[in-house]
Amino acid sequence: MAEVVEKVYEQVVARNRGETEFHQAVREVLDSLAPVIAKHPHYADDALLERIVEPERQVIFRVPWVDDAGNVQVNRGFRIEFNSALGPYKGGLRFHPSVNAGIIKFLGFEQIFKNALTNQAIGGGKGGSDFDPHGRSDAEVMRFCQSFMTELSRHIGPSTDVPAGDIGVGGREIGFLFGQYKRLRNSYDAGVLTGKGLGWGGSLVRTEATGYGTVLFAQSMLATKGQSLEGKRVAVSGSGNVAIYAIEKAQQLGATPITFSDSSGYVVDEAGVDLDLLKQVKEVERGRVADYVSRRPGARLVTEGRVWDVPAEVALPCATQNELDGAGAATLLRNGCAVVAEGANMPSTPEAIEAFQAAGILYAPGKAANAGGVATSALEMEQNAGRTRWSFETAEAKLTGIMADIHDSCVAAAEEYGRPGDYVLGANAAGFTRVADVMIAHGIV
């Protein structure tokens, strides 16, 4: 079976040259599938593996727009519709200078299995642009979003492909994108985008969902050892939506988050993060972490090294891919870290994952631990379809139940395939079998 898997991986590398993040994501999943295929050989029939690693559709387009100085700018837009076996393509849009085809493919591939784990009947996709909204005026962001949606609108719809936000795409961008979609289509299809404002089809808890879900998953892992987050120090990377609400939920569960970061450095606040101040700086003022330090006695800004140098019992990487490398993992382990739950997509390098698993700590990959965001997006779609709106308590209870189910599915799959406690294998095996069974049912399409 290992030979079958290796052949598929070699084909992926040959067909997608230079797309290292995509190669990394495929490698992790395929490596987990050898015991699955050994037990169920039919999953290797009819080129099922070859089909699952190939996107159903890839769209790349030009995005011209005019900046405030009257100059024409040109960016590149992407939408990778990876797999629709379980439902309409579902996955965020990322606006960041690092975006390229390989980044979007890796994110879309991860999304297939993440979405499958939620059991919410949604397929996997991802999109975005190399546009950087940071430092741009609201008018510039609006003009870019309108140009981007002018092309994207041809390819999406409530029953076809439902984008959401990701890095660089928050409530402001979703609003501009939806306004242009509505104008172009002459139809109020509220379910075409998720992460919308509460006044026009958004769901309560959607803003909090990814961060909340990551912490809930960590709590579930600790419960298997008879422990909880109560009293534990938590190191968090990032300071965007995921990090902020991971900090909030960790505090609610009695933990003490002491760090957060952005591209300028990281903050250490030994007294515990002042959540209200962090929200003011990041969500209202769109400021930098240094602005937090200037107003918070006792907090300090570190511009050298990495957030993982700070001793903590729990680590929540919530920034971006490959932010936690082998050296960072070694430092965390040396300082007594016992739990890592990924709030970002693929934030740990293969070397870091190997170190965590060799040490036997509780480690949860992003496709399981950060699935709360897309799960709540699917709940938003459900509310839009029924033209209804649930209370915060109802939506949070559903999110809590979904995260518990994802955790239990990962545990059960890891045990079934002979690796108890291996959340990487558990997540990949559980997600893969759900998608593969439906692909087989649908025939060779």
Superfamily of domain 57-188: Leucine Dehydrogenase, chain A, domain 1 (3.40.50.10860)
Q: Where are the domains of the chain?
A: 57-188, 207-369
Residue 217 makes CB contacts below 8 A (sequence gap 6+) with 341, 364, 368, 369, 372, 403, 406, 407
Is 196 annotated as a binding-site member? Answer: no
* Residue 401 known to bind ligand: no
Q: Does 165 count as an annotated binding residue? A: yes
Asked whether 98 and 128 are in contact (CB, 8 A), the reply is no
Flag whether pLDDT at 1 surpasses 80: no
Kindly report each contact of residues 407-416 with a partner whose C-beta sits within 8 Å and lies 24 or more positions away, as own/partner.
407/217, 407/220, 407/221, 407/368, 409/117, 410/117, 410/364, 410/368, 411/224
CA distances from 360 to 353, 363, 366, 422, 427 (A): 11, 8, 18, 9, 17
**What's the CA gap between 23 and 424, in Å, rounded?**
17
Q: Is 210 one of the annotated binding-site residues?
A: yes
The phi, psi pair for 230, rounded to 5°, reads: -50, 125
> Does the fold of domain 207-369 match that of domain 57-188?
yes
Tens of pLDDT, residue by residue over 246-290, are 999 999 999 999 999 999 999 999 999 999 999 999 999 989 999
Q: Using one digit for the tens of pLDDT, what is the confidence trace for 184-219?
A: 999 999 999 999 999 999 999 999 999 999 999 999
Q: Is 111 annotated as a binding residue?
A: yes
Closest CA to 228 of 197, 210, 249, 200: 249
> Following DSSP, what letter does each residue of 418-441 receive, concatenated?
T-TT-HHHHHHHHHHHHHHHHHHH
**In this predicted model, what pLDDT tens digit does every residue of 336-364 receive, in sequence order?**
999 999 999 999 999 999 999 999 999 99
Separation CA 178–CA 187 (nearest Å): 11
pLDDT (tens digit per residue) in 142-178: 999 999 999 999 999 999 999 999 999 999 999 999 9
Does 241 carry a binding-site annotation? yes
Q: Which residue in the list 126, 196, 367, 398 is annotated as catalytic?
A: 126
Specify the pairing of strand 123-129 against strand 233-236. Answer: unpaired
CATH of 207-369, picked from 3.90.550.10, 3.40.50.720, 3.40.50.800, 3.40.50.1950, is 3.40.50.720
Beta strands in 298-365 (DSSP E): 300-302, 314-316, 339-341, 362-364
d(CA 302, CA 260): 11
Active site residue 126: yes
**Alpha-carbon span 156 to 79, nearest angstrom:** 10
* pLDDT level of residue 2 (50, 70, 90 thresholds): confident
Helix segments in 224-339, DSSP class H: 241-252, 275-279, 289-295, 326-334
Q: Cα 117 from chain centroid?
A: 13
Nearest-Å Rg of the Cα atoms of the chain is 21
Query: In which residue are the tokens 């969902």 written?
Result: 209
CA-to-CA distance for 64 and 69, rounded, in angstroms? 15
